Amino acid sequence: MITFSIVTITYQAADVLQPTLDSVAMQDYEDLEHIIVDGASKDDTMRLVEAHKEHLMRLHGEGRRVKVISEPDKGLYYAMNKGLKMCTGDYVCFLNAGDRLPDPDTLSRIAATAEGAADGQMPAVLYGDTDIVDAEGNNLGHRYLSPPDELSWRSFNNGMLVCHQAFYARVDIAQQVPYDTSLRLSSDVDWCIRIMRLAEEKGLRLRRVPAVIAHYLQAGQSTKHHQRSLWERFVVMQRHYGFFPTIFRHLSFIPRALWRNVKKI
């Protein structure tokens, strides 16, 4: 059977963490490990994590593994690389504090897509749709970018069409592609593109899961630091697609961004 490694990065996350933990605990798919990498939080984060471990042990016994590390680190992407090294599943997904798996059968549906590959190969990436939620869990609708049925690394030239939380990468591939820690807010974009490029080099497919497979908390770091996030994304895009094509593409994004702001008014 397909096995999953769900990695959750936390730091002072007690206010938003519980729904994330609950969404993993409610999964009806047994073969998963939950890896929690904490940056030495001083709030109630670790108390919630320890309660989560005990809860899963009561529900699932040894069938549901939880790995926890709490120590100072140098930031989000350093912590993600630490979690990536700890993965022993077939696929890894980064589900950070505040983000959630939507339904109890989310992982079952993702596994079914992987196991139903016509060529018998495990796809390099499994990906799906994302809904945005607020801190209370209210659904605010679909993410404004939607994943295509046929995805490649070139697709992200049109923006990050797949949310990071809805991007499941094969662990054997992902561990060859650590996050770029010189980036503070957009290394996830760069990581996804590099995963897909490596998949193409290996002749491996990317498969879409026909479902919403992630609930993304609206107030993430890229939202709070929007200007820097935009600059870093430009750096990432020109790294992969070239300077002038990226300039042209960003100019074409301006009407779309203006239209989204008009609709909010």
pLDDT at residue 89 in the model:
96
> How far from the centroid of its chain's Cα atoms is residue 39's Cα?
19
Q: What is the mean pLDDT of residues 112-140?
A: 90
Tally of domains in the chain: 1
In a domain, 252, yes or no: no
Under 8 Å between Cβ of 163 and 130: yes
In a domain, 111, yes or no: yes
Query: What value does the mean pLDDT of the chain take?
Result: 89
Q: What is the mean pLDDT of residues 242-247?
A: 77
CA gap 149, 161 in Å, rounded:
11
At 154 the three-state DSSP class reads helix
Q: Binning pLDDT at 50, 70 and 90, where does residue 63 land?
A: low
Of 173, 165, 158, the residue nearest 237 (C-alpha):
158
pLDDT in tens, 209-237: 999 999 999 865 445 566 677 788 889 99
In a domain, 241, yes or no: no
Q: What is the mean pLDDT of residues 90-114?
A: 97
- For residues 171 and 244, the model is more confident at 171
pLDDT at residue 202 in the model:
95
In a domain, 264, yes or no: no
In a domain, 230, yes or no: no
In a domain, 207, yes or no: yes
pLDDT at residue 36 in the model:
97
Domain that holds residue 51: 4-224
pLDDT at residue 262 in the model:
43
Q: What is the mean pLDDT of residues 176-200?
A: 96
In a domain, 244, yes or no: no
Please work out, in degrees rounded to the nearest 5, the angle formed at the alpha carbon of residue 119 by the alpha carbons of 34 and 130.
Answer: 40
Task: Dig out the tokens for 31 from the structure.
Answer: 């073969």
Which pTM was predicted?
0.90
- CATH number at 144 reads 3.90.550.10
CA gap 2, 32 in Å, rounded:
9
Which segment of 120-134, 146-160, 222-236 scores lowest on mean pLDDT?
222-236
In a domain, 247, yes or no: no
